[in-house]
Amino acid sequence: MSETVERRFTGTHMLLIMVSFFTVVIVVNIFMAYSATSSFAGLVVENSYVASQHFNEKLDAMRRQSALGWKVDVAVREDAVVVDARDSHGTPIRGVIDVEMTRPTTDRDDHELKGEANGYGPVSMPTSLTSGSWDATVTVTADSGETYLSTHRVILSDTPEARP
């Protein structure tokens, strides 16, 4: 007959379980803290107090922009950003177009595109974008000095069926 050995739960077992548990918790916390701090700077503006002092100026600029009646269409693709800016009569605007391409959660891929609107139609600015979320902040400055600002959130996908 075989003899069965009785195993007892000792203090050493409990110590190993507790040390293992807290080691896992600490490692996961360190990983999460590293991921959070390395992926997003958290800054929208350098100084929120100073930015708040310009709120009324921004509100007035938005009212002026709305009164212009401009229509600005933006198409973002992996290889180009196309901006079609037209005045209230549907005439293409002459001036400068600046597009700031940014990621919502990191600043690693941020870059600016510049184009010249010659008054003949859409302006295409070549770029190289990877899949994922992008914010396209478009500033159209007409030769007359009027400015139009808009931000568009786009999501580029790797799958061909998800592309517009």
pLDDT tens-digit series, residues 39-61? 766 666 778 888 888 888 888 88
Residues 20 and 91 both lie in one domain:
no
82-118 pLDDT tens trace: 999 998 898 898 999 999 998 887 777 888 999 898 8
pTM score, two decimals? Answer: 0.66
Whether 127 is in a domain gets the answer yes
Residue 42 lies in a domain: no
Could you give the dihedral angle defined by the CA atoms of residues 148, 78, 117 and 68, in that order, rounded to the nearest 10 degrees? Answer: -20
Q: Please give the Cα distance from 147 to 49 (Å, whole number).
A: 25
Q: Is residue 23 part of a domain?
A: yes
Identify whether residues 106 and 151 lie together within a single domain. Answer: yes
pLDDT score at 126: 92
Which structural domain, as residue segments, surrounds residue 26?
10-37
pLDDT digits (tens, 9 = 90+) for 131-153: 888 999 999 998 988 889 989 89
Q: Report if residue 55 sits inside a domain.
A: no
64 in any annotated domain = no
162: confidence class by pLDDT, cuts 50, 70, 90: very low
Asked if 75 and 155 sit in the same domain, the reply is yes
- Distances from the Cα of 23 to the Cα of 13, 19, 26, 67, angstroms: 15, 6, 5, 61
The pLDDT of residue 32 is 93
The alpha helices in the chain, defined as continuous H runs, are: 11-39, 48-53, 55-68
CA gap 106, 43 in Å, rounded: 10
